[in-house]
Amino acid sequence: MAGIFADPAVVDAPDRQRIEMGFEPLEDGGTFVTIAESGWREDERGRKASYGNCEGWSQMLSCMKAYVEYGINLREGFYPSEMRGELPTPDGS
């Protein structure tokens, strides 16, 4: 199973990113997850942004693994709005 996403904040931008997520079932009952991004600018700014996203996806996958396998929410309280009891909004405010 795979999904393709485009960031709505940059849909009209000439250098918009494309995110592909794949989920493959494994024989042992696990799932192999892949994430690939494309569309980054071919300059220092684009490379730096892509490296930052790579770090973010790595952290997100680690948190997802902890939650799925052990029920531990490693991201709880990570965002100040959540610490105030507010749900995050789609625009990030």
35 within a domain of the structure (yes/no): yes
Q: Identify the residue with better confidence: 15 or 32.
A: 32
Range of the domain at 75: 2-83
62-86 burial string, b = 16+ CB within 10 Å, else e?
ebeeeeeeeeeeeeeeeeeeeeeee
Quote the number of domains for the chain: 1
> What is the rounded CA–CA span in Å between residue 66 and residue 29?
16
For residue 90, being part of any structural domain is answered with no
91 in a domain, yes or no?
A: no
pLDDT digits (tens, 9 = 90+) for 29-85: 999 999 999 888 888 988 898 899 999 999 999 999 999 999 999 887 776 676 666
In a domain, 92, yes or no: no
Tokens for 70, please give them: 């052990």
Evaluate if residue 2 carries a pLDDT over 60: no
